[in-house]
A and B are shown apart, each in its own frame.
Chain A
Amino acid sequence: MTVILNQSFTGISIGAVLLLIALGLTLTFGQMGVINMAHGEFIMAGAYTTYVLQKSISSAGASLLVALPLAFLVAGAMGALLELLLIRRLYTRPLDTLLVTWGVSLMLQQLARDVFGAPNVQARAPDLLTGNISVGGGMTFANSRLFILGLALLCVLGLTLILRLTPLGRRIRAVVQNRDLAEVSGIATERVDRTTFFIGSGLAGVAGVALTLVGPIGPTMGTNYIVDAFLVVVVGGIGQLKGSVITAFALGVLQSVLEYSTTVSVAKVVVLVAIVAFLQWRPQGLYTLRTRSLA
């Protein structure tokens, strides 16, 4: 029983990392339909922001707290710039967008190698987050994993509130649902696109900060997660935040339990087969919205 609970917690923490990465994609891919292959490099930018910040702020705790909003701004600015320079010219050409952003992704990885070197580097975790919490019955939870779980849930809550309750959220949802109608309703849709991309990319930066707590920082760290994150958004239902949340945790737990009972490779294969089977049965994903018409 303890083993199952421990593996479930590990799975939930894997799901929290996936969720943090997928959150940004629910905006840029789920809401806007842009397949941004450079999303992983925004994660990397967030992680390197933490690393650079620790050179000037000696306290690991303080640098982590400053890194979270700073990484959001750095990665968000990179995303907004990418949208402004390239993506907005390619909105009706998804395959071109995929190729172009893949090229940008490779360029950013090389830039990171040139600036920080090819070998991975490590950011210091605050003392508070390095230990474990024992919850009895032989179960221990890593503090860093609990922090990431809390951060992921906080980001979900924040994004939900922005999308549901703010004028910006209404504008984002309106532009996604009917761009022409939004434009003739007085909404500057290009500005909304850029803001959406800024937030989506900024969330990738926050995910990058979180990843420094559980692994090394390197030029290709983002690409390791990006496929899984896209899967989370697709399986959850395009543009459906709650679908992404459920899917991220479900995939995390499934992966963790399978890894324990088989091997890492077998677990990966079984999860991918399960996803393919699920999408055959339900191509629109876990959640979809009902309407009387497509208008």
Chain B
Amino acid sequence: MLEINSVQAGYDRTTVLHGVTVAVPKDGVGAVLGHNGAGKSTLLRAAMGLLKPRSGSVLLNGEDITNLAPHQRVARGMAYVPQGQQSFPHLTTAENLRLVADGRPDGKEAVAEALDLFPALRELSGRRAGLLSGGQRQQLAIARALITRPKLLLLDEPTEGIQPSVVAEIEETVLALTRRGGLSVLLVEQHVGFAMRAAQRYYVLEAGRVTSSGEGGTGAERTVRAALSV
């Protein structure tokens, strides 16, 4: 589904990714794990087109999308939930969702389906996103990404900085999404247990390089923890 091949990328003179290769199978989940500053978010930004790789390529279903703008990648079936519960703070919850649904023939149904995943958002539809709690904003961010009915979802630390009661709900929703088929996920996560429950394949990133990779599943959790503790 997604192939990130030998991508080198960074900011100004700093190189963050040193030839990273990661693949996500069709309808499968790939997890990228690593400590802060390892380059996980940079990898997702490069995959989504927010950061132009200095070398290497990004392929979606075999098509080279390395030079496409992010909105063109969305049109090809990619969606992205960035780190930090990002929203449009001065737009209401409903407007945050309608914004993505505008112009789509199935927009209303897509908004309704997204709200079915997070029913709490229905009661907050008139509230500005900037006034929501972190957990509510993350639910909104995931709901917004799903409105485009993506084939590939990039999730950047969906449970980071969220109150524990909402973490479980978000984890369950993500797991349910990955199990219902038709959706591939590239998950960046620090929470090893959750990542390994979701992923069929994992990659450990360290200082911009893949230092370990293998089959996912809860059985690999110990291996991953060992790789991360080095």
Contacts and interface: CB of A to CB of B under 8 A. Distances in A.
Interface of A: 167, 170-171, 173-174, 177-178, 180-189, 289-295
B88 A186 contact: no
Nearest to B74: A186
B87 interface: yes
Given A171-B99, A177-B88, A184-B79, 5 more contacts: A178-B86, A183-B50, A184-B71, A185-B144, A294-B89
Interface stretch (B18-26, B124-132, B210-218): B124-132
B51 to A, nearest CB: 10
A185 B86 contact: no
B160 to A, nearest CB: 12
22 contacts: A170-B98, A173-B90, A177-B89, A180-B50, A180-B82, A181-B86, A181-B88, A184-B50, A184-B70, A184-B79, A186-B74, A186-B148, A187-B71, A289-B89, A289-B90, A289-B130, A291-B90, A291-B128, A293-B134, A293-B137, A295-B85, A295-B137
Contact of B84 (A184, A292, A295): A295
Contact of A186 (B75, B87, B132, B133): B75
A292 to B, nearest CB: 6
Interface in B39-98: 48, 50, 69-71, 74-75, 79-80, 82, 84-91, 95, 98
Contacts of A173: 88, 90-91
B69 A183 contact: yes
Contacts of B145: 185
B174 interface: no
Contacts of A292: 130-133
B100 interface: yes
List the 10 shortest-distance A-B pairs measured between CB atoms, nearest first.
Answer: A291-B130, A167-B102, A186-B74, A183-B70, A291-B89, A184-B80, A177-B88, A170-B99, A184-B70, A174-B88
B130 A290 contact: yes
B105 interface: no
A40 B116 CA distance: 50
A182 B102 CA distance: 13
A167 B103 contact: yes
B50 to A, nearest CB: 6
A258 B71 CA distance: 53
A180 B70 CA distance: 9
Given A289-B90, A294-B89, A295-B87, A186 B130 contact: no
Contacts of A189: 71
A205 B134 CA distance: 44
A96 B168 CA distance: 49
A167 B100 CA distance: 9
Contact of B99 (A174, A180, A184, A291): A174
Contact of B71 (A177, A178, A188, A289): A188
Contacts of A290: 130-131
Contacts of B79: 184
Contact of B100 (A178, A185, A291): A185
Nearest to A190: B69
Contacts of A177: 88-91
B99 A185 contact: yes
**Interface-central residue, B70, B84, B103, by most chain A CB under 10 Å:** B70
Nearest to B131: A292
Interface in B105-161: 128, 130-134, 137, 144-145, 148
Contacts of A295: 84-87, 89, 130, 137
A30 to B, nearest CB: 13
Contacts of B85: 293, 295
Contacts of B75: 186
A279 B47 CA distance: 44
